[in-house]
C-alpha cells in the first residue's frame, strides 16, 4: 500500500474506531425533545384526546424497546418487583370491585393501568440507560426552565390570575414540578454560577405559585441539601418522616397567615373534601376501590383527592401505599448509600420534596414528575456505584455532538469515564457539599 509523504494514515481498525460515535458523548435529539415536554402535563394535542407528555412517554417506551442497556450493575433492580406488584394489585382491585366501581371523567381502570405501565417502563428505560441520561437531563432542564420563564410573562396561560401557571396549567402542578425536578436540575450543574442562577429562578417561581405545600416542601428540600451529607445514614430515613410531619403540622397552623389570609374559603372546601375522602376510604375494601377512583363529588363538581397518601389507599388500599412508599424510600436509601464523594445531595432533596408535596396533592407518587425522578435517580446510582458504570457502545444513528459546555452540565459521569476508561482516582459526580 502506497502512502503519500505527509499524508495522515491509520490502520483500518483505528480509523474505524475514531469514526465511531460513542453513546455517551452525544445529545440525542429524540430523547432530549421527548423529555423536554414531559413536565408540561396539561399541554393538549389539538384533535387528539391526549396531552403531549402522554405521547412523549409512549414514544420513549418505543425507543427503549429497541435499545440495549447502557449501564452496568443491578442496583435498584428490586423496583421491578414493586412495579409488578402495583400493577397486579390494581388489576385485581379493578376486577374484584367489578362493574360497580365508579370511574371518573370517562377513564376506566384499564386506561389508568396502561398509563402506569408506560410510566414504569419510562423509569426502567432511564435507569438502565436505554434512554440517554445526558439527553434526558438536558431536556428536563430546558423544558422546566423555559416553561418557568414563559410563565413569568403569562405566556402559556393564566388560569389562576395572580399565581404562576403558564404551560404548567395549574399553580399546584407548577409547584410540584419545580420542587421535585428543581433540585435535580440544580444538582446537575457543576458550575456554581449556573446553580445560583437556576436556583434563583426556581425559588421566585415557587413563591409566585403561592402554593403553601410547595413552599414548605422547597424549604425541606433546601434543609436536606444543607445537612444531608452530614447526616448519618442510619438517621437518613428518619429525616424525611420528620419533614412530612413538620409540613403537616406547621402547614395547618400557619395556612392562613400573612399573604394566605384570604384562603379561608378554599381551605373550608378542602376540609369538606377531606371528610368525603375519609368516608370513601373507610367504606372501601382492603384492596381499595380500584384504579382511577380517587375522586369525590361535592355538589355538582368532581374533585381529585387532595392527598396522594389517601389517593393511594383509595385505589389500592394500604398495600398500594406501602408499595409506593417503599419505592421512594428505597431510591432515597440507594442515593445515600453511594460513596461519599459521589453522592448528589441535591438529588436526595428531590425525594424529600416528593414526600412533602404528596401531603396535599392527589397525584404525586404516580405522576410523570415522580417517575422521572425515580428513573434518573436510579440511573445515577448505577452509574456512580463502584460495581456499576456506563457501557460505551457504537451507534449508527445520527446524533448531535455535545458542546464542551454541556459536557460538564449533566449529573452523570463525564465522557472519559462513561466511555469505559478506568479512572485513575475517584471523581465526584455531583455538587460539592
Condensed to tens digits (0 to 9), the pLDDT of residues 69-98 reads 888 777 888 999 999 999 999 999 999 987
The answer to whether position 326 is within a domain reads no
**Cβ count near 404 (within 10 Å):** 7
The answer to whether position 372 is within a domain reads yes
Give kind and range of the element (H or E) at residue 140.
Answer: helix 133-152
The answer to whether position 323 is within a domain reads no
In the block, which residue shows the cell 399573604? 259
Nearest Cα neighbor of 374 from 168, 86, 43 is 86
* pLDDT average, residue stretch 289-312: 87
The answer to whether position 320 is within a domain reads no
% of the chain at pLDDT higher than 90:
37
Report whether 160 contacts 171 (CB < 8 A).
yes
pTM metric for this prediction: 0.81
Q: Is the pLDDT of residue 277 over 70?
A: yes
Q: What's the confidence (pLDDT) of residue 149?
A: 95
pLDDT band, very low/low/confident/very high, at 57 (cuts 50, 70, 90): confident
Report whether 328 contacts 208 (CB < 8 A).
no
Helix ranges, 228-344 (H): 233-236, 238-253, 264-283, 308-336
* Grid cell listed for 32: 432530549
d(CA 74, CA 389): 11
Report whether 73 contacts 378 (CB < 8 A).
no
Q: What's the confidence (pLDDT) of residue 14?
A: 40
* Grid cell listed for 164: 404562576
In the block, which residue shows the cell 418505543? 62
* pLDDT tens track for 400-413: 444 444 444 455 44
Nearest Cα neighbor of 366 from 411, 305, 412, 410 is 305
The answer to whether position 345 is within a domain reads yes
* Grid cell listed for 227: 445537612
Report whether 353 contacts 229 (CB < 8 A).
no
Q: What's the confidence (pLDDT) of residue 402?
A: 41
Q: What's the confidence (pLDDT) of residue 3?
A: 41
φ and ψ at 252, to 5 degrees? -75, -35
The answer to whether position 353 is within a domain reads yes
The answer to whether position 125 is within a domain reads yes
Which DSSP category does 412 fall into?
Answer: S
The answer to whether position 298 is within a domain reads no
pLDDT band, very low/low/confident/very high, at 123 (cuts 50, 70, 90): very high
d(CA 210, CA 49): 30
* pLDDT tens track for 349-375: 999 999 999 988 888 999 999 999 999
Sign of CA dihedral 420, 138, 140, 230: positive
Residue 282: is it exposed, middle or buried by C-beta count within 10 angstroms (0-12/13-18/19+)?
A: exposed
d(CA 373, CA 381): 12
Q: What's the confidence (pLDDT) of residue 231?
A: 76
Q: Is the pLDDT of residue 181 over 90?
A: yes
How many domains are contained in the chain? Answer: 1
* pLDDT tens track for 22-56: 344 577 888 888 898 887 777 777 777 677 888 88
Supply the range of the domain harboring residue 385. 20-256+336-418
Amino acid at each position: 500500500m502506497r502512502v503519500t509523504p505527509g499524508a495522515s494514515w491509520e490502520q483500518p481498525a483505528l480509523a474505524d474506531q475514531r469514526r465511531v460515535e460513542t453513546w455517551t458523548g452525544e445529545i440525542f435529539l429524540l430523547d432530549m425533545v421527548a423529555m423536554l415536554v414531559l413536565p408540561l402535563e396539561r399541554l393538549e394535542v389539538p384533535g387528539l384526546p391526549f396531552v403531549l407528555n402522554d405521547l412523549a412517554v409512549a414514544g420513549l417506551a418505543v425507543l427503549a424497546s429497541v435499545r440495549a442497556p447502557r449501564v452496568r450493575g443491578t442496583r435498584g433492580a428490586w423496583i421491578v418487583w414493586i412495579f409488578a406488584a402495583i400493577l397486579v394489585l390494581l388489576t385485581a382491585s379493578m376486577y374484584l370491585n367489578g362493574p360497580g366501581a365508579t370511574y371518573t371523567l370517562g377513564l376506566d381502570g384499564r386506561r389508568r393501568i396502561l398509563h402506569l405501565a408506560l410510566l414504569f417502563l419510562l423509569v426502567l428505560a432511564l435507569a438502565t440507560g436505554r434512554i440517554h441520561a445526558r439527553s434526558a437531563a438536558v431536556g428536563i432542564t430546558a423544558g422546566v426552565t423555559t416553561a418557568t420563564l414563559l410563565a413569568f410573562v403569562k405566556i402559556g396561560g393564566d388560569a389562576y390570575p395572580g399565581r404562576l401557571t403558564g404551560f404548567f396549567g395549574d399553580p399546584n402542578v407548577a409547584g410540584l414540578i419545580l420542587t421535585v425536578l428543581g433540585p435535580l436540575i440544580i444538582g446537575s450543574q457543576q458550575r456554581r454560577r449556573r446553580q445560583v442562577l437556576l436556583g434563583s429562578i426556581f425559588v421566585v417561581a415557587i413563591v409566585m405559585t403561592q402554593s403553601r405545600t410547595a413552599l414548605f416542601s422547597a424549604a425541606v428540600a433546601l434543609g436536606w441539601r444543607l445537612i444531608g451529607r452530614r447526616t448519618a445514614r442510619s438517621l437518613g430515613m428518619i429525616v424525611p418522616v420528620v419533614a412530612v410531619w413538620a409540613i403537616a403540622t406547621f402547614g395547618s397552623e400557619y395556612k392562613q397567615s400573612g399573604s394566605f389570609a384570604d384562603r379561608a374559603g378554599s381551605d373550608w372546601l378542602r376540609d369538606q373534601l377531606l371528610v368525603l375522602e375519609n368516608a370513601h376510604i373507610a367504606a372501601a375494601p382492603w384492596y381499595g376501590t380500584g384504579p382511577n377512583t380517587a375522586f369525590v363529588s361535592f355538589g355538582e363538581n368532581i374533585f381529585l383527592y387532595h392527598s396522594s397518601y389517601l389517593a393511594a389507599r383509595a385505589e389500592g388500599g394500604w398495600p398500594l401505599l406501602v408499595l409506593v412508599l417503599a419505592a421512594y424510600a428505597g431510591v432515597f436509601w440507594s442515593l445515600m448509600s453511594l460513596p461519599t464523594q459521589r453522592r448528589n445531595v441535591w438529588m436526595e432533596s428531590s425525594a424529600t420534596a416528593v414526600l412533602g408535596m404528596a401531603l396535599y396533592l392527589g397525584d404525586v407518587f404516580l405522576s410523570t414528575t415522580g417517575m422521572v425522578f425515580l428513573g434518573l435517580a436510579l440511573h445515577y446510582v448505577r452509574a456512580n456505584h463502584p460495581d456499576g458504570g456506563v457501557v460505551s457502545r457504537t451507534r449508527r444513528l445520527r446524533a448531535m455532538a455535545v458542546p464542551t459546555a454541556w459536557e460538564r452540565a449533566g449529573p452523570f459521569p463525564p465522557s472519559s469515564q462513561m466511555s469505559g476508561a478506568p479512572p485513575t482516582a475517584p471523581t465526584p459526580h455531583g455538587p460539592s457539599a
